[in-house]
Amino acid sequence: MADRPSDVPDIESTSEREIVDLRGLGPFVSLGRYHYLVAHEPLPEQRHDTLLVLALPLRNGIDFVIDGSIVSAGPGQVLRIRPGAGYRTGTGTQPRGDLLWLILRSRGEAGQPPSRMIDELCQADRDVWPASPLSIDLLSRVLSSSSAEDWLTGVWRESLCTTAVIELVRGLSEGDGGTAEHPGLQRALRWFEDHFEEPVTAAQLVEVSGMSGTRFHELFTESFGTSPKDYVLRAKVARSERLLAGTSDSITEIAYRLGFSSSQYFASVFRRYLGVSPSQYRRREELLRAAAKFTAG
């Protein structure tokens, strides 16, 4: 076990990881994402008395050793680390890839009992289960939002995180966490991540999986709660949000970078999922950043 438990969250962002401080927003403590292009030093053993950790791999799988047992999760799954459990990375390094994590307090203020949704997560009889694309989309939107710290941004973040956690709780009853580990699905997901910036079709994923089209679609929908085509488009839209908010690349450049056939098609897909055009989204983020700077100044 770790030398001593620590419930002080790490909220320091770096060039390879982004962390949003959620303290003061209900049970939420922090939300983060790392994007490692190369393997990193192993995560030392840790333990938190009151913190619940949810890890969602986005690109490549990850292994943790939790209380002495190896637990693995891949894209499309969530891995739960209960309060009080000792954990560390299960290999000699932190593998390259992308991973989201959400940290919540398992106890209410002043010793109040936890909410029903947190109790469900803490008491679940398994550590890994399917994560819906919606839960990943919602958490990604919080990460890609502006740095404004006004009350409205706080309400918005808490609302999205709450909905994401509700989706994860629903996943406990909608699947046993096993189908997403099917080797055919894992091959298809790894291939998709390796070809993320290319046009990707469901037919290509079926071919890579080695399964029949019918069986692949059945397993995929059971594991991720959506079709292969929808999964691909949602993932690309989530990536485009970060590019629109964090780079000066033109919308056309972003569209081609993500494998869309044209900027018009990209814009129609973006609007379908988020309700605004890419240019409107970028403008909104610019205004929020400007407002945050004005307030801070």
Look up residue 150 and give its DSSP letter.
Answer: S
**How far is residue 127 from each of residues 64, 101, 155, 282, measured CA to CA in Å?**
11, 14, 29, 37
Q: Residue 110: is its pLDDT beyond 70?
A: no
Q: For residue 1, is pLDDT > 50?
A: no
The distance of Cα 260 from the centroid of its chain, to the nearest Å, equals 22
Q: Are 189 and 75 in contact (CB under 8 A)?
A: yes
Nearest to 81 by CA among 58, 62, 60: 62
β pairing state of 97-105 and 62-66:
unpaired
H helix intervals, 15-145: 116-123, 133-144
**Residue 84 banded pLDDT, cuts 50, 70, 90:** very high
State the number of CA atoms in the 13 A half-sphere of 16 facing the CB: 11
Type of residue found at 200: V
pTM of the model: 0.61
Instruction: Give the distance from CA 163 to its chain's centroid.
Output: 13
CA distance 220 to 72: 19
CA distance linking residue 114 with residue 13, whole number of Å: 28
**What Å distances lie between residue 251 and 79, 161, 165, 244, 290, CA to CA?**
34, 28, 31, 8, 21
* Higher local confidence (pLDDT), 84 or 149: 84
Per residue in 113-152, pLDDT tens? 557 888 889 999 889 988 888 898 899 989 887 666 778 8
Q: pLDDT-based confidence at 4, cuts 50/70/90?
A: low
Task: Answer whether residue 81 shows pLDDT above 70.
Answer: yes
| Cβ proximity of 78 and 56 under 8 Å | yes
HSE at residue 199, side-chain half, CA atoms within 13 A, is 8
Strand order across the 87-89 sheet: 69-73, 62-66, 87-89
Alpha carbon distance 239, 260 (integer Å) = 13
For tokens 């307030």, what's the residue?
295
Per-residue pLDDT tens digits for 228-271: 998 898 888 878 887 888 889 999 999 999 999 999 999 999 98
In the β-sheet with 97-105, what is the strand arrangement from edge to edge?
Answer: 17-25, 28-36, 97-105, 51-59, 77-81, 128-130
- Convert the pLDDT of each residue in 33-78 to its tens digit: 988 877 777 788 889 999 999 999 887 778 888 988 888 888 888 9
pLDDT at residue 151, rounded to an integer: 82
With a cut of 60, say whether residue 173 has pLDDT above it: yes
Question: Mind listing the domains of the chain with CATH numbers?
Answer: 17-176 (2.60.120.10), 182-296 (1.10.10.60)
Measured CA to CA, the distance from residue 179 to residue 182 in angstroms comes to 5
User: Which residue type, as a one-letter code, is found at position 56?
Assistant: L
Decide if 258 contacts 232 (C-beta within 8 A). no
pLDDT, tens digit (0-9, with 9 covering 90-100), for 216-232? 998 888 776 678 998 89
Residue 111 has pLDDT above 50, yes or no: no
Looking at residue 48, what is its pLDDT? 92
